[in-house]
């Protein structure tokens, strides 16, 4: 399960919403939302925004978790150089 998926599930359950209710609002099938929550499928940026609005969640928080998951899934394949690459990227972002 990804950080984003965990957060979506928590928000959904706190509001006593079913997967099918979220799916219906996004006009996708229930299996997709389930896979997003379990980290088996990545949501698109637009889906994250729509989920945030539907769950009345902090859009920036969910987008941050979404991006963190994307970064992690990319660098996990290169653990030997991932840390150094992140340091370089961080320096570039600070400029």
Query: Could you tell me the CATH number of the domain that includes residue 26?
Result: 1.10.260.40
How much is the pTM?
Answer: 0.86
- Cα distances (angstroms) measured from residue 53 to each of 36, 39, 40, 78, 91: 16, 20, 22, 35, 33
Q: Tell me, what DSSP letter sits at residue 37?
A: H
Of 16-20, 62-66, 91-95, the least confident = 91-95
- Which residue is it, tokens 């980290």? 39
Domain around 37: 3-94
Number of domains within the chain: 1
Distance of CA 10 to the CA centre of its chain: 13
Q: Is residue 80 very low, low, confident or very high in pLDDT (cuts 50, 70, 90)?
A: confident
What DSSP assignment string belongs to 20-48? HHHHHHHTS-HHHHHHHHHTSSPPPHHHH
């Amino acid at each position: 399960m990804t950080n984003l998926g965990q957060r979506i599930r928590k928000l959904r359950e706190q509001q006593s919403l079913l997967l099918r209710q979220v799916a219906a609002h996004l006009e996708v099938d229930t299996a997709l939302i389930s896979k997003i929550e379990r980290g088996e499928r990545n949501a698109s940026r637009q889906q994250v925004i729509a989920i945030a609005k539907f769950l009345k969640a902090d859009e920036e928080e969910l987008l941050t978790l979404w991006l963190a998951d994307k970064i992690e899934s990319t660098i996990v394949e290169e653990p030997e150089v991932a840390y150094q690459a992140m340091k370089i990227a961080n320096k570039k972002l600070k400029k």
